[in-house]
Chain A
Amino acid sequence: MSIFEYNGSALVAMVGKNCFAIASDRRLGVQLQTIATDFQRISKIHDKLFIGLAGLATDAQTLFQRLVFRHKLYQLREERDMKPETFASLVSAILYEKRFGPYFTQPVIAGLGDDDKPFICTMDAIGAKELAKDFVVAGTASESLYGACEAMFKPDMEAEELFETISQALLSSVDRDCLSGWGGHVYVVTPTEVKERILKGRMD
């Protein structure tokens, strides 16, 4: 049993037209037992930057706390928010620091950069960055997610259509994975607003 499959998770982020969406499942399990059905896997760093952490839940929480800490200090020193690309480099560096005793998490970073250009990326547990122009996935349901996203994704979708697409991709993928599911949590971010929505899916 892999340590990455201990808690179960599903994460996906997609790029739209001047917007992005990031979605996760809501299950927190301990192997076969479901412990919580409202687990927060995606967190806000600032209004235009979100990070989702798949994998071992304890490492995800700790890593998130460390990243918020670093970002707050950055904000105080530089008197500005971090750009998503900069943040991704920071996460990569922090993960690699623990190269020989890593955080067992896979981050998915999504944000609006300069001129509100959407940015998404993912990386492995030791910080190998993977930039993508369309979508990125992570978690125990990642294989299904790859398939669903590849089939459903279209470039330059508006916010509403993007929401529909990412929700369908997430729900259909987690249904094929016993370790993730119990609903969905979707954030659709445009330059003007952040829309947070809960999805009702198969509760098993």
Chain B
Amino acid sequence: MGPDFRVLVRKSRKQAEQYHRLYKEPIPVTQLVREVAAVMQEFTQSGGVRPFGVSLLVAGFDDNGPQLYQVDPSGSYFSWKASAMGKNVSNAKTFLEKRYTDDMELDDAVHTAILTLKEGFEGQISAKNIEIGIIGADKKFRVLTPAEIDDYLGEVE
């Protein structure tokens, strides 16, 4: 659910900034995940609220290298090398198990991600109906422009 997601994003951004204010260091991925998960768990136990209707995939690059975490509405979180969520999740995970390798380059990873998405995609996949975000060793998160997505899609075809 989109609105639930926005609340969590706001909360995580604030947590990350608070960490930075205290330690003048970017927050490690594990710490941020822990704090977001704690918030989500709170909403399964407090009165008069309902759990967040979202599962999160949190990806980041810190001193321990690139990391990926999945956080469920219950507040439990799992570390993944590759993961999928939502529609067609079991097929997608099987696909990833076959295609994922530890020494992938970023481009390969984007290709694999697009292919995984294509598996369960209804209709024609295009730059207008998917979003891709990447984070590399420069530790800068970037959402790809439609033009860049088109390039990748072209290579996939």
Contacts and interface: CB of A to CB of B under 8 A. Distances in A.
Interface of A: 77-78, 83, 85-86, 89-90, 93
Contacts of A86: 23-25
Where chain A touches its partner, the secondary structure class is helix
Given A77-B34, A86-B23, A86-B24, 8 more contacts: A78-B30, A78-B31, A85-B24, A86-B25, A89-B22, A89-B24, A90-B22, A93-B22
Interface string B21-54: 1111100101100100000000000000000000
What is the interface residue range for chain B against chain A? under 10
A144 to B, nearest CB: 32
Contacts of B24: 85-86, 89
Contacts of A85: 24-25
Nearest to A114: B63
Contacts of A83: 25
Contacts of B34: 77
B22 A78 contact: no
Nearest to B30: A78
Nearest to B24: A89
Nearest to A82: B23
Nearest to B23: A86
19 contacts: A77-B31, A77-B34, A78-B28, A78-B30, A78-B31, A83-B25, A85-B24, A85-B25, A86-B23, A86-B24, A86-B25, A89-B22, A89-B23, A89-B24, A89-B25, A90-B22, A90-B23, A93-B21, A93-B22
A85 B31 CA distance: 19
Contacts of B21: 93
A86 B25 CA distance: 7
B26 to A, nearest CB: 11
A202 to B, nearest CB: 41
A131 B31 CA distance: 28
A77 B37 CA distance: 14
Contacts of A90: 22-23
Contacts of A93: 21-22
Contacts of A77: 31, 34
Nearest to B22: A93
A83 B24 CA distance: 11
B88 to A, nearest CB: 35
A77 B30 CA distance: 9
Nearest to B27: A78
